[in-house]
Amino acid sequence: MAELLRVSGLQTHYTSFGGSRVVKAVDGISFTLREGETIGLVGESGCGKTTTCLSIVGLLPSAAHIVGGNIEFDGEELTTKRAREMRHVRGRKIAMILQDPMASLNPLFSIYLQVAEPAYYHQRARGRSLRQRVRELLQAVRIPSPEVRMREYPHQMSGGMRQRVVGAIAMAGGPKLIIADEPTTNLDVTIQAQYLEVLKDIQRETGVALIFVTHNLGIVAKMCDRMAVMYAGKIVEQGSVRDLFRAGRHPYTQALLGSMPKLGSKERLLAIPGQPPNLARLPSGCAFHPRCPHAMSRCIEEEPVERLIDVQWTARCWLGDREPAKETYVSATA
């Protein structure tokens, strides 16, 4: 499959007080995404997942700036594009699904108008074919009786249905990439499962690539081909979901997996001590060292470089390709 998106060395910083204070929300991350592939961006709140996505679609708040790196999408460089040019990328080539469907739908417009808008502008559909297109989109996200539902307004729908409408809007411009930022956090478990199935079906039918932003590793296990684990604005490990779940190298990856409760097991959870760091006052060296059970003196002084572990598998840790001592975790979880 052809490469669709290449993010290389992306740095997005928030500046305040006239540039005297800089928060490095995203600090040199690189990843690629092929057509039809799904990557999961995982990490705790404040690690830079959302800022990464907003950098890609060019919707950063005014305090944030891309200060370095490139975003190459479908053969085009996005970081140098002007706002007017980005408007032809957003919706048409890259779409976004946000966490709260009520905030992304306009309460004053009918479902029909909101789903039709991207198809009108980006695919130049008009009249009967536009109506047909909206009906197909609502069917694709499994909304029952679409003819009736398209005349309704967002407040008449439940949370799960609203999120499906947002999915239909995302698909309306015929994008090659959908960025889903915590799309199911507000949904109930059975509704979440239905929604994830819908997204999978859409991907199978249209071959759209997905970036899934989540803190829920279960969603990654269910939906993604590859995953990138973020900590304090950096990708500390990335690789195939299967490799990382089986033998994640970075202590943070291992800790995240260990802190996930598993059904039918009462094993004590592996808790990471301490708090995620404040991005304005990052620890020296490796940002994870104050919480890391394997921290060495080198970790405090020097920031680890990205090392190749296997094909398509990298980690940023001084433990490098030497397997970290697993015993500490076994005893902690027993």
Partner 1 sequence: MSAPLLELKDLQKYFPVKTGSLLRRKIGWVKAVDGVDFAIFPGETLGLIGESGCGKTTTSKLILLQEAPTAGIIRFDGEDVSGLQGPELMRYRREVQVVFQDPYSSLSPRMRVGNIIAEPLEIHTDLSREALAERVAEVLELVGLQPDLARLFPHEFSGGQRQRIAIARALATNTRLIVLDEAVSALDVSIRAQIMNKLEELQQTLGVSYLFIGHDLATVAHISDRIAVMYLGQIVELADSLELCAKPQHPYTRALFTAALPSHPDERHERLTITGEVPSALDPPSGCRFHPRCPHAMPKCAVEAPVRKEIAPQHTVACHLY
Q: What residues make contact with partner 1 under the rule CB under 8 A?
A: 44-45, 158, 160-161, 188-194, 197, 215-222, 241-242, 245, 255-256, 258-266, 268-273, 275-276
Please state the closest distance from residue 224 (CB atom) to partner 1, in A.
8
Q: Indicate the residue among 71 and 196 with the shorter CB distance to partner 1.
A: 196
User: In whole angstroms, how close is the CB of 81 to partner 1 at the nearest point?
Assistant: 34
State the minimum distance, in angstroms, from the CB of residue 292 to partner 1: 12
Looking at the chain, how many residues does it have?
334
- Nearest approach in angstroms of CB 47 to partner 1 is 10
Closest CA to 199 of 247, 236, 166, 232: 166
**Cβ of residue 257: shortest distance to partner 1, in angstroms?**
9
Which tokens in the block code for residue 315?
A: 């980690």
- Identity of the residue numbered 136: E
User: Nearest to residue 8, comparing CAs of 65, 105, 59, 78?
Assistant: 78
Q: Which is nearer to partner 1, 59 or 193 (CB)?
A: 193
C-alpha–C-alpha distance, residues 149 and 136, integer Å? 13
* CB of residue 271 to partner 1, shortest distance in Å: 4
**Strand pairing category for 234-240 and 313-316:** antiparallel
State which residue, 275 or 297, has the beta carbon closest to partner 1: 275
Which of 211/219 has CB closer to partner 1? 219
Q: Dihedral through CA 240, CA 79, CA 118, CA 107, nearest 10? A: 90
DSSP string, 79-124: TT--HHHHHHHBTTTEEEE-S-HHHHS-TTS-HHHHHHHHHHHHS-
Closer to partner 1 by Cβ: residue 176 or 250: 250
Q: Which of residues 58 and 192 has its CB atom nearest to partner 1 in the complex?
A: 192
Between 81 and 222, name the residue whose CB sits nearer to partner 1. Answer: 222
Cα distance between residue 79 and residue 88, in whole Å = 14
Angle CA(84)–CA(55)–CA(45) in degrees, nearest 5?
Answer: 145
Minimum distance from residue 263 beta carbon to partner 1 (Å): 5
